[in-house]
A and B are shown apart, each in its own frame.
Chain A
Amino acid sequence: DGGITQSPKYLFRKEGQNVTLSCEQNLNHDAMYWYRQDPGQGLRLIYYSQIVNDFQKGDIAEGYSVSREKKESFPLTVTSAQKNPTAFYLCASSTGGENEQYFGPGTRLTVT
């Protein structure tokens, strides 16, 4: 079955710790994306990558970092510099260009 997986579904961390969220896809998609969603709000783009070994900042990249060493993987690190990290994080992928994005199931991160 092709799709996008995110793990874990729920993640708890203490303030001041870095945490890495996993995103894997077996759709052979070139482009991958990370979004943040806060309660009652829409999706805000954190980072995106259109090809391996390349990525660009989205609208709210501060306090986050990514890597794209493999086509199928796009991990997101939430650093201690992120002032308000508690949120629902969504990963997506697409074939690129103006094509539809497909989303993973999301990771809910809680930092206390």
Chain B
Amino acid sequence: GQQLNQSPQSMFIQEGEDVSMNCTSSSIFNTWLWYKQDPGEGPVLLIALYKAGELTSNGRLTAQFGITRKDSFLNISASIPSDVGIYFCAGQNRETNAGKSTFGDGTTLTVKP
């Protein structure tokens, strides 16, 4: 099956710092999604990417769909305490995995005030 490697596994940063995390796949995807999960809650969709090379922003968040279609990046600028949580990437490919998403294992972000 498709494998997604998400890194780093965890990050400890100071408030105000920028954050970068990424996901790489062993096979291509047609859609990349980024989610944030607060403790004890369901993941919330942050950004959806549908085209190779696409760069999309949502406030302080920016995500990119890699040109090879095998990777994606999420950047958070000027982090604040409420950015704390687990960030998941997910990829979809209708041809090889119809109707399903493949999820990374998550990046746990801790922001120190």
Query: Are A101 and B101 in contact (CB-based, < 8 A)?
Result: yes
Query: Are B43 and A103 in contact (CB-based, < 8 A)?
Result: yes
* Nearest CB in chain A: distance from B72 CB, A: 14
* Nearest CB in chain B: distance from A59 CB, A: 8
* Nearest CB in chain A: distance from B40 CB, A: 7
* Nearest CB in chain B: distance from A43 CB, A: 5
Known: A42-B104, A42-B105, A42-B106. A104 touches B99 (CB 8 A): no
- Name A75-106 residues within 8 Å CB distance of B: 88, 90, 92, 96-106
A100-B31, A101-B33 are known contacts; what are 8 more A-B pairs with Cβ within 8 Å? A42-B104, A42-B105, A42-B106, A88-B40, A90-B43, A97-B99, A106-B41, A106-B42
Query: Are B105 and A98 in contact (CB-based, < 8 A)?
Result: no
Query: Are B45 and A42 in contact (CB-based, < 8 A)?
Result: no
- List B contacts of A6 (CB < 8 A): 42
A45 CB within 8 Å of chain B: yes
Contact sample, A vs B, 18 pairs, CB 8 Å cutoff: A6-B42, A33-B100, A41-B105, A43-B43, A48-B99, A50-B99, A56-B99, A58-B100, A90-B42, A97-B94, A98-B93, A99-B31, A102-B45, A104-B42, A105-B42, A106-B40, A106-B41, A106-B42
B88 CB within 8 Å of chain A: yes
* Nearest CB in chain A: distance from B110 CB, A: 14
Complex-state Cα separation, A29 to B57, whole angstroms: 26
Residue of A nearest to B104 (CB): A42
- Name A1-35 residues within 8 Å CB distance of B: 4, 6, 31, 33
Residue of B nearest to A97 (CB): B94
Residue of B nearest to A10 (CB): B40
- List A contacts of B22 (CB < 8 A): none
- List B contacts of A101 (CB < 8 A): 33, 45, 90, 101
Q: Which of A42, A45, A59, A105 has the most CB of B within 10 A?
A: A42
- List B contacts of A106 (CB < 8 A): 40-42
Complex-state Cα separation, A104 to B94, whole angstroms: 23
A68 CB within 8 Å of chain B: no
